[in-house]
């Protein structure tokens, strides 16, 4: 998108977040759902197709612009970002990197128009360990398609999705590593697809995750992403790089919201006859939080610029996600501390910020898994230089 037009769009989005989305947060929390009219407004604004190429009905944002939108949306309750994040992040990335021309022509216009997508990688016994993946895709004996069986777990937007990108084992074992995994585009109304009840979560009210059960699900041959087996894990990892940038941007935006809340509270709350903002240890927590948010914003600018230049950013995306999500956890903890006893009460925002932020350190790769990934690439690079 043209830079000037994008800046105008971002200004409009910031107003929408503050004037429309934040005032509706109480309804989202009370009903554990985003109101239908707001979801439709978001579709009308083009949020579900931000990264889809313009010729397919999307906005054609680059990664730098996309991350700025995510950060802006993340200033409000996480559910608002969650409902469109898979469309513009992992699903779109997989279609872009691995989809055939026919798959792009079929699915890009549909997700840009607001059909909701989900991404099925995690299983009851398989998360970071792809070798343990149990979902199987076998050639359909009655045709040129495939038959899928298995269960996917913790799948964001599964209760609302009309399409899922499902990872499944097409070989018992294969070399090179992870070549046993293939990706399939599966309409969620396909016979044999069942979505479980939404899981009850610690936080992020209004966003939903659920299991997806696949019981003899027949899909045609053209459902295989890219038309080639053994590429699913690579497409998934490329998509997760995008997802990690999204989570990092969301963590940064939400940390800013929490800090702004603490700053306001510290100036309004009085103790010993003066605002607690005058106390140096309160100022220390505010200053540390601002500094860490600034660092995350700087990392975001760097990693997204690298992606837009076409660089390999596996390590940089992981590092950004690790730092930003851990930073957000530290910021919301300080915010509860600044609020004091009020921070432990549900009537104040601080305790919600604390609960909502906890998942950022877990999904799209836990901090610990990503630290291992960063170290692995460091050691591989060192070994290649000696």
Range of the domain at 354: 238-385
Q: 189 falls in which pLDDT band (50, 70, 90)?
A: very high
Write the CATH number for 85: 1.10.540.10
Question: Could you give the C-alpha distances from 307 to 3, 9, 63, 245, 303, in angstroms and in order?
Answer: 17, 22, 7, 10, 6
- What does the block give as tokens for 232? 């699913």
Contact 240, 365 (CB under 8 A): yes
Question: Is 212 found in the same domain as 124?
Answer: yes
204 and 265 assigned to the same domain: no
Q: Write out pLDDT tens, residues 211-228.
A: 999 999 999 999 999 998
What is the C-alpha separation between 360 and 251, in angstroms, rounded?
7
Per-residue pLDDT tens over the stretch 335-371: 999 999 999 999 999 999 999 999 999 988 899 999 9
Same domain, 77 and 212: no
pTM over 0.75: yes
Catalytic site includes residue 364? yes
- Same-domain pairing of 358 and 330: yes
Q: What is the CATH number of the domain that holds 330?
A: 1.20.140.10
Domains contained in the chain, number: 3
Contact predicate 167/133, CB 8 Å: yes
The dihedral region occupied by 202, where left means phi > 0, alpha psi between -120 and 50, and beta the remainder, is alpha
99 and 147 part of one domain: no
276 and 245 fall within a common domain: yes
d(CA 92, CA 52): 7
Q: Which of 116, 132, 157 is at the close of a domain?
A: 116
Matching residue, tokens 């937007």: 157
Q: Point out the domain boundary residue: 61, 86, 116.
A: 116
- In the predicted model, what is the mean pLDDT of the chain? 93
What pLDDT digit, counting tens, does each position of 263-292 carry? 999 999 999 999 999 999 999 999 999 999
Calpha distance 213→192 (Å, rounded): 8
Q: What is the rounded average pLDDT of the residues 199-218?
A: 96
Q: What b/e sequence results for 224-262 when a residue is b if at least 16 CB atoms lie within 10 Å of its CB, and e otherwise?
A: bbbeebbbbbbbbebbbbbbbbbbbbbbbbbbbbbbebb
Q: Same domain, yes or no, for 250 and 225?
A: no
Q: What is the DSSP letter of 325?
A: H
Q: Are residues 172 and 104 in the same domain?
A: no
273/192 same-domain check = no
- Taking alpha carbons only, the member of 21, 5, 29, 23 closest to residue 355 is 29
Tell me: do 283 and 380 sit in the same domain.
yes
Do 13 and 142 reside in the same domain of the chain? no
Last residue of a domain, one of 233, 253, 285: 233
Catalytic residue among 54, 326, 364, 381: 364
For residue 145, count other CB atoms closer than 10 A to its CB: 17
Q: Which residues contact 215 (CB under 8 A, 6 or more apart)?
A: 149, 192, 194
pLDDT in tens, 156-187: 999 999 999 999 999 876 555 667 889 999 99
Residues 264 and 210 in one domain: no
């Amino acid at each position: 998108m043209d830079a000037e037009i994008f800046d105008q769009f971002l200004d409009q989005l910031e107003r929408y977040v503050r004037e429309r989305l934040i005032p509706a947060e109480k309804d989202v929390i009370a009903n554990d759902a985003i109101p239908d009219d707001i979801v439709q407004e978001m579709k009308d604004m083009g949020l579900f197709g931000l990264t889809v190429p313009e010729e397919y009905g999307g906005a054609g944002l680059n990664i730098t612009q996309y991350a700025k939108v995510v950060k802006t949306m993340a200033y409000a309750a996480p559910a608002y970002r969650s409902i469109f994040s898979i469309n513009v992040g992992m699903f779109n990335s997989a279609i872009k990197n691995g989809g055939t021309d026919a798959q792009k022509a079929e699915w890009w216009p549909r997700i840009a128009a607001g059909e909701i997508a989900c991404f099925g990688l995690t299983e009851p016994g398989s998360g970071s360990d792809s070798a343990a993946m149990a979902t199987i895709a076998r050639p359909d004996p009655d045709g040129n398609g495939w038959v899928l069986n298995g269960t996917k777990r913790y799948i964001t937007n599964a209760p609302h999705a009309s399409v899922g990108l499902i990872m499944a084992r097409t070989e018992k074992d294969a070399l090179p590593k992870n070549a046993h995994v293939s990706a399939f585009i599966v309409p969620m109304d396909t016979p044999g697809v069942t979505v479980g009840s939404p899981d009850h979560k610690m936080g992020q009210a209004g966003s939903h995750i659920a299991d997806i059960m696949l019981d003899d699900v027949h899909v045609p041959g053209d459902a295989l992403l890219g038309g080639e087996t053994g590429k699913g894990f690579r497409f998934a990892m490329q998509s997760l790089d995008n997802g990690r940038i999204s989570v990092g941007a969301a963590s940064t935006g939400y940390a800013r919201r929490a800090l702004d809340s603490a700053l306001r509270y510290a100036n309004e709350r009085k103790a010993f006859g003066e605002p607690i903002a005058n106390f140096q240890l309160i100022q220390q927590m505010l200053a540390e939080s601002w500094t860490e948010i600034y660092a995350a914003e700087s990392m975001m600018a760097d990693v997204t610029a690298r992606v837009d230049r076409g660089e390999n950013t596996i390590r940089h995306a992981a590092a950004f996600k690790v730092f930003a999500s851990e930073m957000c956890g530290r910021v919301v903890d300080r915010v509860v501390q600044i609020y004091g006893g009020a921070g432990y009460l549900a009537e104040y925002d601080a305790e919600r910020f604390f609960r909502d932020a906890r998942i950022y350190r877990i999904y799209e790769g836990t901090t610990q898994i990503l630290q291992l990934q960063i170290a692995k690439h460091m050691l591989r690079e060192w070994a290649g230089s000696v």
